[in-house]
Structure 1
Amino acid sequence: MMAKFQRFGGAMFTPVVFFVFSGIIVGLTSVFTNPAIVGGLADQGTIWYTVWKVIDAGGWTVFNNMEVLFVIGLPLGLANKAKERASLEAFVIYMTFNNFVNQILQMFGKNFGVDINSTAQTSGLKVIAGVKTLDTGVIGAILIAGIVVWLHNRYFSVKLPDWLGVFQGSAYVAMLGFFLMLPIALLFVWIWPVFQHSILQMQYFMVKSGNFGVFTYIFLEKALLPLGLHHFIYAPFQYGPAVIEGGTTLYWVKHISQFAASTKPLIKLFPEGGFAMQGMSNIFGIPGIALAFYSTAIPKNRKKLLALIIPGVLTAALAGITEPFDYTFLFIAPALFFVHAFLAACLATTMYAFGVTGDMAAGLIDITAKNYIPMWANHWQIYVIQWIIGIIFIGIYFVVFRFLILKFDFKTPGRSEDEMVNMFTKDDFKNKNKKSGKATKTAADPFRTAAGAYINLLGGADNIASVNNCFTRLRLTINNPELIANCKNKLATF
């Protein structure tokens, strides 16, 4: 079961990777169309304003279609075979679901307390790929994608009678999905409006829990990383409705211009931003840890260690990628990793208590584009406070880690007598903790066996230049026809 959770967490990255760049674009366009920053250039009707508005429209592509991205992206990581077909099936079945919901609401919406014609932001409705439907967010998208992956893995390879061959594969999965989506659409129309109301209540509770809620969120997000379960912590907050409708990422980019123009404290404008500050430990925690590594290393190893940790610190601070440090802890001294998680939670909570908030879940490049540049004119004071707290925590990290490393003689990089200095990766950690088990036997796939035989008869895989097909014919381009079994001197017949 744990392996399945980890695999799901990894699949989440497929659509998420697009968000960082799109967020930077939206943040920059907000800056370059803000009259307080660029003056008269930002007046409507100027070429400057027009160009940046066009760029802004492109930047919103990802955020306006998050549900579709998750529906298409998750099968790429979860399907056991024919992943591309699984993604296409997921899109078709997801849009079938949305069309069912649309028609049910048009005919019976009032019975469920939903007005399909409402244009209010609080209506609980959204237009997805041209279809007005319930706004189920990425939760609905992930659920439907999960159902499709299950159908695909179970039924994609089912062999139908030859006369029904046109309905095999993706067509068969889509047919099953079609009939399954009808009761699921009815279920969603009945339950989701109630769920949306419950979400609003939960959002209120999470925001009102203040510092305790932020501490718990940051600690769990960091502490669950080695189990691959941290995705289940941050995803509902950043991309779902756990603390604000649409998630912290989408809400922030939608309101960048409004927040930038306001002189009200950011903590009042966006109190939900405390649940998007896990990036602070990347910028201020990792440098303190690196200093502790360096100061506790054997002097003869420090030069090599410096060449190792400087790129790691820059990668963590600028891009938010902390794997070399995280898995070095887990490999050498897991206790240090949980100290890191505790200090990361303390760091973010302290900043939040002093009024720091925003979309700060990644690295310095992303944070600068979406926070510092657009917000600086009216909110620079809070960022000065943030960096003062951050620099103090670099010192706290250094003192705590140095003390623990020396106290318990943890063999962090550079502390071994040999001259080999290295950090560790996720694969190193997995291999260290891999338990021996009995080899599992997998049943032979008759279709794979037959395919292998055909490939051999065709002269091997290297003899096949290209493969194409329609429903009834397989078309091959062969490099050397003479290598085809039983075809020598019969090329004309072939």
Structure 2
Amino acid sequence: MMQKIQRFGGAMFTPVLLFAFAGIMIGVGTLFTTEAIMGSLASTESLWYQCWNIILQGGWTVFNQLPLIFVVGLPIGLAKKQQARCCMEALVLYLTFQYFLSTILSQWGTTFGVDFAAEAGGTSGLTMVANIKTLDMGMIGALMISGIVIFLHNRYFDTELPEWMGTFSGSSFVVIVGFFALLPVAFLSASLWPMVQSGMRAFQGFITGAGAMGVWIFIFMERILIPFGLHHLLYFPFFYDSAVVNGGVFSTWATQLPELAASTESLKTLAPYAWPTLTGLSKIFGCPGIALAFYFTAKDSKKKKIAGLLVPITLTAIFCGVTEPIEFTFLFIAPVLFVVHAVLAATLATVAYMFGVVGAMSGGLIEISALNFIPLMAAHWPTYLTLLVVGLVFTGIYFVVFRFLILKFNFATPGREEDEEITFHNKADFKEKQAAPKGSLAFMILDALGGKDNIVDVTNCATRLRVNVKDESLVKTDSYFKGIGTHGIKATKTNIQVIVGLKVPSVREEFEGFL
């Protein structure tokens, strides 16, 4: 079950990888179309505004069509065969489901406690999907329907029909089965989802009322779940769905940017919902403190090599918001340090929140700048100055705490291990391996996993190649994987996560080619 949950979480990252660029375009477009920042240049009648507004509206594509994108994105990671056809089947059946649901509610809405005559949006519980007025099930509904279609696709796509019925085979057969399977699902959704919406509104009130304690618990859980690959499942409903605000934190924040830029009132007052995305603060301020602790506790003979390792992975965390490379350098050597990291990350976000810091800050410095600093610095510079001070203080706290624990318990963090070859190989060694026959990184990973006959399935998230194997005893050690150019592995019996980095999509593609 854990493997299936991890695989599901990894598959959701296929569409999520689009969010960073979309967020940047929204941030830049909002900056140049906000009259409070650009003055008369950004008046709606000006050519400047009209040109930038085109870019801004294009940037909204991903967030405006989020359910559709998840519907077609999930099969890419979870369909076992003919992923492209499964994407088409998922889209067709998702729209079919919406027509079912829309018709049910238009005819019997009052029976299910739904006022279908109300305008879509707001607190009505209704929305528009592909010009279909329907129940607002958000990303959860999209993932549910896509998951059902993937199950049907994997089970029925290869069903052999009599020759005279051949036109109904393959995708057509999956859609036929799905058509009838989704009818009861539509009735159940009409019956149960309004109650779920009421529960969500109650949860919003609870978590908002929890204040700083709610912030600390959420950020701590998000960090501590990273080793298990389950953190996506925690934050998705908050970031992109309606767990704390209708439409999700990112979409609501981006929509509200012009209002935020035009006001000098506290961001915490203007956007009290925007605290779950403070997960990015530890990436910008915590990871440098960890890296400095590693460097200053390393053996003198290894400091130069340690710097070569730490600089790129620390910059990746700061600017791109991808922390696995640096976190996995110490996670398995000293798990207690990761728990401390989660505690400090939660405390950093909570302290910043108590000082009035909120915003779309889950990514790295590039994304955070586009959605926060660039469009809002003029009106809210005191808040961001406060964030800088708090952040730098915590960089120092991270450094002091990690350095103390490393020296106190003699943790074999990078640069302190006895066997240099366990963690480090020089560039010449790596190039030599790359130059070997079939010596690509993907092939070396495949070989280290026991060869293609040992592979059950493969998917990926932002930085990890997630593989299920038949026999875990055939998988090489963590140090071996580091030696061939990865950042190591996280192994849970037959579920293996290879920490590759941001190039993992291309590595997966080549890996599947070898399979």
TM norm. shorter chain > 0.5:
yes
Distance in 2 between the 1:18 and 1:431 partners?
25
Match of 2:346 in 1: 345
Decide whether the 8 Å contact of 1:414 with 1:421 is kept in 2.
no
Match of 1:443 in 2: none
Distance in 2 between the 1:168 and 1:23 partners?
41
Distance 1:436 1:322, change over 3 A: closer
Structure 1 residue 117, shift from structure 2 partner: 3.5
Structure 1 residue 430, shift from structure 2 partner: 7.2
Which letter maps to 2:212?
N
Deviations 1:179-217 (A, max 9, x none): 111111111112222221221111111111111111111
Q: Say whether 1:303 aligns with 2:316.
A: no
Distance in 1 between the 2:46 and 2:422 partners?
57
Match of 1:34 in 2: 34
Which letter maps to 1:330?
L
Distance in 1 between the 2:42 and 2:284 partners?
33
Which letter maps to 1:74?
L
Q: Say whether 1:52 aligns with 2:65.
A: no
Q: Give the fraction of aligned pairs with identical amino acids, expressed as a percent.
A: 51
Distance in 1 between the 2:45 and 2:262 partners?
20
TM alignment of 1:280-295, pairs within 5 A:
280-295=281-296
Decide whether the 8 Å contact of 1:328 with 1:423 is kept in 2.
no
Which letter maps to 2:239?
Q
Structure 1 residue 434, shift from structure 2 partner: 5.6
TM alignment of 1:176-215, pairs within 5 A:
176-215=177-216
Residue 289 of structure 1 aligns to a residue whose secondary structure is: helix
Specify every segment of 5 or more residues in structure 1 that has no aligned partner in the other structure, as ranges.
Answer: 438-494
Match of 1:233 in 2: 234
TM alignment of 1:15-414, pairs within 5 A:
15-119=15-119, 121-414=122-415
Which letter maps to 1:321?
V
Decide whether the 8 Å contact of 1:282 with 1:320 is kept in 2.
yes
Deviations 1:343-384 (A, max 9, x none): 111111111111100010000000001001111121110111
Structure 1 residue 35, shift from structure 2 partner: 1.9
Structure 1 residue 331, shift from structure 2 partner: 2.7
Distance in 1 between the 2:104 and 2:188 partners?
11
Decide whether the 8 Å contact of 1:11 with 1:78 is kept in 2.
yes
Which letter maps to 1:175?
I
Decide whether the 8 Å contact of 1:15 with 1:69 is kept in 2.
yes
Distance 1:423 1:257, change over 3 A: farther
Distance in 2 between the 1:328 and 1:213 partners?
29
* Runs of 4+ in structure 1 over 6 Å off: none
Decide whether the 8 Å contact of 1:15 with 1:73 is kept in 2.
yes
Distance in 2 between the 1:432 and 1:30 partners?
40
Moved more, 399-408 or 111-120: 111-120
Decide whether the 8 Å contact of 1:301 with 1:421 is kept in 2.
no
Structure 1 residue 116, shift from structure 2 partner: 2.8
Structure 1 residue 46, shift from structure 2 partner: 0.8
Residue 121 of structure 1 aligns to a residue whose secondary structure is: coil
Structure 1 residue 435, shift from structure 2 partner: 4.3
Structure 1 residue 115, shift from structure 2 partner: 3.1
Decide whether the 8 Å contact of 2:157 with 2:171 is kept in 1.
yes
Residue 412 of structure 1 aligns to a residue whose secondary structure is: coil
Decide whether the 8 Å contact of 1:277 with 1:359 is kept in 2.
yes
Decide whether the 8 Å contact of 1:413 with 1:421 is kept in 2.
no
Distance in 2 between the 1:207 and 1:307 partners?
43
Decide whether the 8 Å contact of 2:37 with 2:261 is kept in 1.
no
Decide whether the 8 Å contact of 2:222 with 2:234 is kept in 1.
yes
Structure 1 residue 420, shift from structure 2 partner: 4.8
Distance 1:430 1:413, change over 3 A: closer
Decide whether the 8 Å contact of 1:298 with 1:417 is kept in 2.
no
Match of 1:472 in 2: none
Match of 1:455 in 2: none
Distance in 2 between the 1:350 and 1:422 partners?
36
Deviations 1:219-249 (A, max 9, x none): 1111111111111111111011111111111
Distance 1:312 1:423, change over 3 A: farther
Structure 1 residue 405, shift from structure 2 partner: 0.7
Match of 2:438 in 1: none
Report the aligned-residue RMSD.
1.8
Larger radius of gyration: 1
Q: Calculate the TM-score normalised by the size of structure 1.
A: 0.85
Distance in 2 between the 1:149 and 1:285 partners?
39
Structure 1 residue 145, shift from structure 2 partner: 0.7
Match of 1:488 in 2: none
Residue 106 of structure 2 aligns to a residue whose secondary structure is: helix
Specify every segment of 5 or more residues in structure 2 that has no aligned partner in the other structure, as ranges.
Answer: 426-462, 466-477, 479-486, 496-515
